[in-house]
Amino acid sequence: MLVEPELRPVTQPSAPRHRPPVPDDVSRRVRRNRTIATALVLAVATALVLGLSSGGHSAPASLVHVKVHHTSGANPRLSPSWEGDGKAVTMAFGGDTNFPSGSLLGDELAANPSTALGSGVRELLSGVNLSMVNFESAMTNGTCPVPQPKSYDFYAPPTALTAFKAAGITLVTEANNHGMDCGAPGLQMALAARANAHYPVLGIGQNAAQAFSSYQAVLEGQHIGIIAATQVIDTELIASWTATNQKPGLASAYQVPALLAAVEADRKVDDTVVVFLHWGVQLDACPDPLQEPLAAALVRAGADIVIGSHAHVLLGGGYLGSAYVDYGLGNFAFYNAPYPTNYSGSLVLTAIGRRIVHATWRPAIIVNEQPVPVSGSQAAAVLSDLAGARACTNVTAGPTAPLATSATEQAPASAAVTAQLEAGN
């Protein structure tokens, strides 16, 4: 059985863990310190990356580089109360999923891709218009042509896309700290597999424009746009893994102006804008110094839903103004999952345009590396963790006044970042 060092074994307790409430004065001090740290980190990270422009490669039909032309008059989609055609769209999101060689999931994928994720996934995703998870892996032809200088390199064959399709998963993201585990040749294999399968894989591309391209769908008459990026890349790999105007790679959330510009572009044409990020710290059940400020900047730029994974444990979720933010979806289908990394499930959100009218967590526990929906005391334990996790975040149980305005959604991206950081979150 593979054991990744960053997933330290944790003993399963007899009762669910609880996080004590965080005093308001402590919360304010923590957030203020995080904001200062974020400003420094973002400034350094953004400086590492070149400016972006579109290259000569075209993206798959389902991935659209949104170009907005100036029109006179106010754009109604810039209003936080925008409801589109007034119909509800329900979406489900899951966390980290992969099929490493030598794992049970890897063996299941090799034996039968159509059943590799188990029967519980369809129950967790039932009744929704769209579903998405994080594909925590490179995707190659079954080899790893250029293993990266890391403790573990994850890769899986294109049959992984068959497994996602069969489980009812609409799309995935590979913008994460394993998306280029097999180097630039491995990334080209993933891009070819994506094109051949006609299946949307976000966050990768022949250039930055492709990597930041959004998934576009019309569901119940509503225009939905989804962007993916990673805020987790090993320091020594940032330069080689980051997509630029002239180089293939991943959509990097360290390119904050580019990420916010992508959100602002989608905001002008979509009724609901979603950002799926890879972010946080391994096994840390509270947001790190980068997450809260970035979430607020994305919401001000026009994102209605900001979600993500990476920590392999559940983090808190709730409303940031009128938008919905979840700081950590945990594992979805993953190897080496002792408590608390075995607490799983799907986040199900219903949106009417920009209004998030319903949010629920369908609890699951990972058994034999697959998510199994649970009820009763097991469900209560998972939900108790989620409820406690909100205490160390800046989100609330219900919506409050919108953070976004038509001005913040049209401001230059760099100015939006600066204004958000200066506001102290």
Q: Which fold has domain 24-422?
A: Purple Acid Phosphatase; chain A, domain 2 (3.60.21)
CA trace torsion 160, 165, 169, 170 (10° rounding): 110
Higher pLDDT, 19 or 76: 76
**From CA 52, how far away is CA 252, in angstroms rounded?**
12
Query: What pLDDT does 37 receive?
Result: 42
Rounded mean pLDDT of 270-290? 96
80 in Cβ contact with 299 (< 8 Å): no
Rounded mean pLDDT of 297-318? 97
**Nearest-CA neighbor of 299 among 419, 424, 405, 404?**
404
Please give the helix or strand (H or E) that residue 98 lies within, else none: none
What is the per-residue pLDDT across 96-130, written as a single tens digit (0 to 9) for each? 999 999 999 999 999 999 999 999 999 999 999 99
Question: Which tokens hold the place of 409?
Answer: 């959604």
What is the per-residue pLDDT across 409-422, written as a single tens digit (0 to 9) for each? 998 766 666 555 44
What letter does residue 146 receive in the DSSP assignment? Answer: S
What letter does residue 6 receive in the DSSP assignment? Answer: T
To which residue do tokens 């991943």 refer? 250
Rounded mean pLDDT of 296-317? 97
Domain boundary assignment for the chain: 24-422
Question: Which tokens hold the place of 170?
Answer: 């609409």
220 in Cβ contact with 183 (< 8 Å): no
**Nearest-CA neighbor of 379 among 144, 123, 4?**
123
**Nearest-CA neighbor of 176 among 151, 144, 150, 203?**
203
Higher pLDDT, 60 or 21: 60
Higher pLDDT, 71 or 199: 199
**Nearest-CA neighbor of 301 among 309, 293, 310, 312?**
293
User: Among 10-19, 181-190, 225-234, where is mean pLDDT lowest?
Assistant: 10-19
Alpha-carbon distances, residue 291 vs 111, 155, 329 (angstroms): 39, 27, 14
pLDDT confidence tier of residue 243, bands split at 50, 70 and 90: very high
361 in Cβ contact with 28 (< 8 Å): no
Answer whether residue 53 shows pLDDT above 80: no
**From CA 260, how far away is CA 262, in angstroms rounded?**
5
Query: What pLDDT does 422 receive?
Result: 47
**Nearest-CA neighbor of 290 among 29, 31, 19?**
31
**From CA 260, how far away is CA 273, in angstroms rounded?**
12
pLDDT confidence tier of residue 151, bands split at 50, 70 and 90: confident
**From CA 147, how far away is CA 347, in angstroms rounded?**
33
Query: What pLDDT does 201 receive?
Result: 98
89 in Cβ contact with 350 (< 8 Å): yes
Please give the helix or strand (H or E) that residue 166 lies within, else none: helix 159-166
**From CA 298, how far away is CA 301, in angstroms rounded?**
5
Query: What pLDDT does 21 receive?
Result: 36
User: Among 12-26, 87-101, 160-174, 279-293, where is mean pLDDT lowest?
Assistant: 12-26
Query: What pLDDT does 420 receive?
Result: 52
Bridge-based pairing of strands 317-320 and 204-205 is unpaired
Question: Which tokens hold the place of 388?
Answer: 């406690």
Query: What pLDDT does 72 receive?
Result: 52
Answer whether residue 144 shows pLDDT above 50: yes
Please give the helix or strand (H or E) that residue 155 lies within, else none: strand 155-156
Taking residue 85's Cβ as centre, other Cβ atoms within 10 Å add up to 11
Answer whether residue 14 shows pLDDT above 90: no
Answer whether residue 169 shows pLDDT above 80: yes
What percentage of the chain reaches a pLDDT higher than 70? 81
Rg (CA), the chain: 20
Taking residue 37's Cβ as centre, other Cβ atoms within 10 Å add up to 14
**From CA 238, how far away is CA 177, in angstroms rounded?**
10
Taking residue 244's Cβ as centre, other Cβ atoms within 10 Å add up to 21
Query: What pLDDT does 42 receive?
Result: 43
Rounded mean pLDDT of 76-88? 97
pLDDT confidence tier of residue 404, bands split at 50, 70 and 90: very high
Q: What is the overall mean pLDDT for the chain?
A: 86
Question: Which tokens hold the place of 418?
Answer: 């600066």
Query: What pLDDT does 38 receive?
Result: 44
Rounded mean pLDDT of 300-318? 97
